[in-house]
Amino acid sequence: MRRACGWRPRAPSAPAPSTELETALLAAVSDTGALFLTEATGVEVTLVDVSDVYRVATDGTSAAGTADTGLSGLSSAGALVLRTLDGAIVLAAATAGQVTATGNVLLAAGGTTSDLDVRSTVTSNGGNISASAGHDVLLGATVYASVAGKTIDVVAGAALVQSQGTRVSTASGNVSLAAVGDATLEAVLVGGTGTGIRVSAASIIDGDAAGDSEADLLAASVQLIATGAVGAAGAQLETSANTLAIDADGDVFVNNTAAVVFGNTTLNVARVDAEGGTALTTNALLTGLSGDDIVVRALTGNFTVNTGAPVAATGNLLLQATAGSSNMTLNAAATAAGAISLPPPTTCC
């Protein structure tokens, strides 16, 4: 039997308690306020058509009710929270699984084997966005916080994979992407000044074809934290940032499209809770550049290492400002267990 739930409440759904569901297919719209939904197992947000409903008359007979054109996606005039206790969340492709809210958004797939599979756009036109899964987070569509200062927070219990042609973007709020496994990135874009992107994962991988030049991460500042590698030889991670800070246990291969400063950065986001409220994360200060074999290049402009932001490689180290007449300024130590190269046209120090 196909279980489905299409729901349009007449009044706002209160944050406590949430509306509890047990359905395979879901669509819901709240025109007057917030939407709080808790599913016991897995659920797919999609087009739900329940037109085969019959209405019983006072004489005991029945006839087909008013034709139903169907309902799709999730839409809220306030906060929007969809959680599963132990099961995957799938947002169906195209517009069928689209999620839109004027307030904060939380999508949370509970359970250690549960994925969050985003195949339709997720948009907040007035709040912050948090998305999490006990297992993989699969971003097959764009996630967008459209109002200045609003943030995006994504947490994966295993891998985080962003598909080609998609974006995670904000008008001018920070973005944090965290995965216990690898994070494969396509395009993470933050508008405004003084805002940034933080990525924490096992390895941070450029999802584009090797040798591409598309910026994977664009923000005023970028933090990269990896227990494995950041980028790879021939498949460098491309950043477009004024300030970088990188801490990796493995190799680091990064091309920054502009002039770059390695310095000290702190970056936090507003994490949405089950009641639609938020709490600010408390990430530690990240400093300088560290890794095994390190190759970092500024493709245009100067390369600067600030005071108190040392560079340390447990393997070889190459730092380069590739544009003609560019300068390299080292205001902190640059050390390596292997060889160190500061190739031309860099003028140092």
pLDDT tens column, 36-85: 999 999 999 999 986 667 778 888 887 776 666 789 999 999 999 999 99
Cis status, amide bond into 17, omega within 30 of 0: yes
- Helix H, strand E, coil C: the string for 27-50 is EEEECCCCEEEEECCCEEECCECC
66 located within any domain: no
pLDDT tens column, 296-332: 999 999 999 999 999 999 999 999 999 888 899 999 9
270 located within any domain: yes
76 located within any domain: no
316 located within any domain: yes
How many domains would you assign to the chain? 1
38 located within any domain: no
Q: Domain span at residue 133?
A: 103-348
By CB atoms closer than 10 A (0-12, 13-18, 19+), residue 51 is: exposed
Cis status, amide bond into 15, omega within 30 of 0: no
Cα distances (angstroms) measured from residue 212 to each of 23, 206, 325: 43, 9, 25
Query: In the predicted model, is pLDDT for residue 154 greater than 60?
Result: yes
93 located within any domain: no
Please tell me what DSSP assigns to residue 171: S
Q: Is the pTM value of this prediction over 0.85?
A: yes
84 located within any domain: no
Alpha-carbon span 37 to 28, nearest angstrom = 9
58 located within any domain: no
Alpha-carbon span 144 to 168, nearest angstrom = 6
